Amino acid sequence: MIFQAVTAPAPQTGASGGCPYDPAAAAPALDGHGLLDLFGDGFVRDPDPWMDQLRSESPVHFDPLTGLWLVSRHADIRTVLLDQEAFLPDNAQHAVTPLGVPALRVLARAGFRVRPALANNSTESHSGLRRVVTRFFNAHRVAAAVPVIERIADDLLAGARERLDATGRCDLFTSFAQVLPCRVMMELLGVDTLDAATLTRWSDASLELFWGRPTPERQLELAELVGEFHQWLTATVSGGAVAEDSLMGALTRHRLPDGRLLDVQTAVGACFFVFVAGQSTTGQLISTVLRRALAEPGLWPRPAHEEPLARAWVEEVLRHEPPVTSWRRVTSGPVELGGVRLPAGAPLLLMLMGSGSDPEVFDEPALMRTDRPEVRHHLAFGAGRHRCPGASLARTEAAVALRAACRLLPDVRLAPTPADPPMLGLLSFRAPLRIDVVAGPAHAGRGVGTCA
């Protein structure tokens, strides 16, 4: 089915009867910091004040602008992720902004159909598909991939160094953070029929079309790119030329629980999710890791020679500013969550980024601490059977990227700019879209955590 739009739940009678269900009455208005707009510049640039207020005042909060229930406390989010019966992933990849008829026609002409495969699959086929994908991102393969990541990182940073020396300035997002995971993914999965720039453009367009708030005109532009992406995936998966030991080859040979071979459309859906998550979201993680490291007094360029520090920094960024800021679930029946009674079919938005600052779980959550003992308790990669299968690779890529940048660009600092850098601000994805650096002395001052 083509991605559907999320709509507010219709008023209905609760499980115990009584008055018609009214979501607006079930959750109080949240206006202590102004109007809550999940796509607004204020929220995108500094979500912490809203997240603090949500957790303390309305931990299960109905947002009338999106029709979603915002779940912000760590315990409630973990409950939802682990309860596979009461909370289904079926809406995980629905479009949050209704797609207009012209954009839907473009997608239909391209044959765009994504069936339940991984993140949006609550059927019995999920576990088998997940096992296929996980084999390509297990600990052994990730360890073997480190030399590949290091080689590509060094190559990209050499180009960044040349631009920096020639012009005195360089953007580490477009020259490094955005490109590294795409090239790594293509090499690890044996993709050699197109260039990294095209795959990145397709992936980014997919995120914006289904998780953004594009205008009808922008929807048409994005739909064309997403259609091209889907057609390439379909032709590649069904063309018979994929290597048997590749992810696509493994999917084409996979059999469903009833013994049937996996259909092409479901295989394409799985590849669609893997390619988008494996490159765009990992690039967003690397972007945030680098920018926060450059801004932290006493940190840059120490991770170049302190691998534990690099890994600890990545973990703190995942806790406090994960690239996947939220994820969706839908209730399978009436249920109580955080003291709020929800009806069947209530769409939830799990605020992963806010859960990482929950003071019930993390001490001094506003501070970036590389000595945090409970840091792995964060939910940046989800939990349960839908936990991100590429978590280990994403962590490793981000740590390698940070160490390589510190080693090859030890003398850079953030460039002074008249305005804040542009930010990616989609429903479930957030990251800096520029990391302008200039040559200059590293920050002086006290180091972070106990690694100083």
Question: What residues contact 29, with CB distance under 8 A and at least 6 apart?
Answer: none
Specify the CATH number for the domain of residue 340.
1.10.630.10
- Percentage of the residues of the chain whose pLDDT score is greater than 90: 75
- What are the pLDDT digits (tens) for 292-302? 999 999 999 99
The more confident residue out of 218 and 444 is: 218
Cα first-last separation, the chain: 52
3-class secondary-structure state, position 175: helix
Q: Please name the residue ranges forming H helices in 98-246.
A: 101-109, 126-135, 139-167, 172, 180-188, 196-211, 216-238
Which range marks the domain in which residue 222 is found? 23-439
Question: Does residue 13 sit within a domain?
Answer: no
Side-chain half-sphere CA neighbours of 255 within 13 A: 4
Listed in sequence order, the residues at least 6 apart from 181 whose beta carbon sits closer than 8 Å to its beta carbon are 278, 279, 280, 282, 283, 286, 394, 397
| pLDDT tier, 24 (very low <50, low <70, confident <90, very high otherwise) | very low
Closest C-alpha to 103, from 225, 253, 264, 200? 225
Per the structure, the count of domains in the chain is 1
In a domain, 90, yes or no: yes
Range with lowest mean pLDDT among 202-206, 269-273, 307-311, 314-318: 269-273
pLDDT band at 34 (very low <50, low <70, confident <90, very high): low
Residue recorded with tokens 């029929």 = 193
Q: Tell me whether residue 412 is in a domain.
A: yes
Does residue 1 belong to any structural domain of this protein?
Answer: no
Q: Peptide bond before 257: cis, by omega within 30 degrees of 0?
A: no
Q: Is 447 domain-assigned?
A: no
Residue 5 counted as domain residue: no
Tell me the pLDDT tens digit for each residue of 322-339: 999 999 999 999 999 999
Provide the token pair at 296: 């932290």
Residues paired with 282 in a beta bridge: none
- The answer to whether the CB of 176 falls within 8 A of the CB of 398 is no
Instruction: For residue 47, count other CB atoms closer than 10 A to its CB.
Output: 21
Residue 322 in domain: yes
Considering the domain boundaries, does residue 258 fall inside one? yes
**Number of residues assigned to the chain:** 452
- Per the CB < 8 A criterion, the answer to whether 428 and 210 are in contact is no
Q: How confident is the model at residue 393 (pLDDT cuts 50, 70, 90)?
A: very high
| pTM (2 d.p.) | 0.89
